[in-house]
Amino acid sequence: MADQPAPAAEPTPPWRAAPGGVVIIVRATPRASRSQISGIGLDADGRSVLAVRIAAPPSEGAANADLTDLLAAALGVRKRDVVIHRGETGRNKQVHVAGDAMALIARLEALNGG
């Protein structure tokens, strides 16, 4: 009997429950034609990220403001409930979204078609 390769493991989603809500790992691409959530991708290290295209340029916080507005609208929370914890000046960001973690995760999975 020949050895068969193990089935590929399902990649972990780029979000997890955290105290008071969820933490999402985001890869933001500024200066897109329109702001939208593109889906789940991988970063250079092979970790899952939520790919987001942002119409605003990355100057004077415009792209970060656009990102928080987009995530708030997509997840049905107030803008002030979306806070960038890490990566304010880079493309890779760690974002905390306040709210019911299970409801937020369900919305994220629905956005991703899962």
**CATH code assigned to 15-111:** 3.30.1200.10
pLDDT band at residue 2, thresholds of 50, 70 and 90?
Answer: low
Strands 36-42 and 21-29: unpaired
Beta-bridge partners for 35? none
State the pLDDT at residue 111. 85
Instruction: Map out the domains of the chain as residue ranges.
Output: 15-111
State the pLDDT at residue 8. 54
Does the global pTM surpass 0.85? yes
Dihedral sign, Cα of residue 40, residue 65, residue 105, residue 103: negative
CB count in 10 Å sphere of residue 22:
23
